[in-house]
Amino acid sequence: MQKNPFYHGGLHFTCTRCSACCRFDPGFVFLSETDVKRLASALDMTYTQFIDVYCRWIPAGGGYEQLSLKERSNYDCIFWKDGCTVYEARPLQCRTYPFWSSIVLSEESWKAVRAECPGIDQGEWHSKEEIEEQLEMREKEPIEVRRR
C-alpha cells in the first residue's frame, strides 16, 4: 500500500451499471478459483463445464497461462446482455472496480478513468481502509494459472 495515498480522505464511487467497463474495449477479466466456483454455481454448471464454455487461457509468460473470461467479437463481456447477467456472482476483478492499484495509483489516474466511468466521484463514500481492503482482496485471491 502507498504510504500517503491521494485517497487518504476516501473516495466516492457507486456503480451505475452503465456497462462502460464491460463493453466495446478489448481486455481481460482474469478469474480466480473462487470466481469460477461462484460463477459455475450461479449458472448450475460444474467447474470444468464453466471453463470450457466461458473461459480462455491467456499466455502469461514463463510457460504459463492465466484464466480469463471470453469476450464477444465486439469485445463485450461474455456475460453482458442489456446489463450484467451474472452481477451477483461477478468476478472479484469486476467487484473491486475501480479500486484497482493501477487506478488509485494517483489522482491523475483516478481522474483519467473518471472520464470513462460515470460512477467515479459520485454516490457512496469509501474510506481509505475500505479502498485498501479492496486492493488487498485482489492481491490475496490468486488468478487461476496453468502450465502451457
What would the pLDDT profile of 27-43 be if each residue is shown by its tens digit? 999 999 999 999 999 99
Other C-beta atoms closer than 10 Å to the C-beta of 39 total 22
Contact 57/115 with Cβ under 8 angstroms?
A: no
Write the single-letter amino acid at 137: M
DSSP string, 50-95: HHHHHEEEEEEETTEEEEEE-B-TTS-BTTBSSSBTTGGG--HHHH
In a domain, 35, yes or no: yes
pTM of the model: 0.89
Average pLDDT, the chain: 94
Q: What is the pLDDT of residues 51-85, one digit of tens each?
A: 999 999 999 989 999 999 999 999 999 999 999 99
Structural domain count of the chain: 1
φ and ψ of 87, to 5 deg: -50, -45
> What 3-state DSSP class applies to 19?
coil
Least confident of 61-65, 118-122, 140-144: 140-144
In a domain, 29, yes or no: yes
In a domain, 62, yes or no: yes
Range of the domain at 28: 11-79+88-147
In a domain, 2, yes or no: no
